[in-house]
Amino acid sequence: MNRKTTFIIALIVSVFMSTACSHAGSIWAKRDKNMKAPYADDVARQVGDVLTIKISEDSKLDNKAKRDMKKETDKSTDFDGQLGIDHILPSIPGFTMSAESNNELKSKADYKDERKFVDSMTVVVIDILPNSNLVVTGTRSRDIGGDKQTIEISGIVRPSDIAFDNTVKSEQVADFRIVTELGGISAPYTKPGWLGRIFDVIWPF
């Protein structure tokens, strides 16, 4: 066996061994099918995904009503006692009658209401409509020092309105519904007492 043949055999063996080693262990880890794609975002798209709603509700109501009605009536009657048939029916004593009436109504109402609610809350996608809109709902309960607050949110979110950070503004949520319930120590101070409510019923003026 000459030197050239030995070189060829050694080259073939080295190529075979390098191929076997490359199959035995690779520097690239095998991708798990449950892993998220490298370029995928965290925007909610499927049932069970979460979405953060930025609540910024500012409502102002200024309702004024004024009514001024007045009615005056003046009526008088004067009868001289003559019946219109001379020498047949005797005349009767004449009389004069007058009547006046006055009816006046004035009313004024002024109602103002201004409320502002700012918060953020994470909800869960519970359904997907045929047009790909997401039905979301969520509940948050807080109990701080005996003050209890429960917030319930529901609505329909359009996927194109969801920002890159997986948030959406409350003004962009269709059929947006928010219910806030207060309880605990501060609850009695946010509504009138039972005696005040009775007086409001029997004496509403």
Query: DSSP labels for 168-185?
Result: EEGGG-EEEEEEEEEEET
The three-state DSSP-derived secondary structure of 42-53 is CCCCCCCCEEEE
Query: Would you state the pLDDT for residue 136?
Result: 96
> What span, in angstroms and rounded, lies between the C-alpha atoms of 43 and 195?
52
Task: Return the closest-CA partner of residue 64 out of 119, 112, 121.
Answer: 112
pLDDT of residue 137: 95
Q: Percentages helix, strand, coil for the chain, rounded to the nearest 5?
A: 20, 50, 30
Encoded tokens for 194:
């039972």
Alpha helices per DSSP H over the chain: 3-24, 194-202
- 3 φ, ψ (degrees, to nearest 5): -65, -35
pLDDT, tens digit (0-9, with 9 covering 90-100), for 163-194: 989 999 999 999 999 988 877 666 666 666 66
Query: Tokens for 78?
Result: 């004067």
* pLDDT > 70 in the chain, percent: 62
Classify residue 38 as exposed, middle or buried by CB count within 10 Å of its CB (0-12, 13-18, 19+).
exposed
Please state the pTM of the whole predicted model: 0.53
pLDDT bucket at 36, cuts 50 / 70 / 90: low
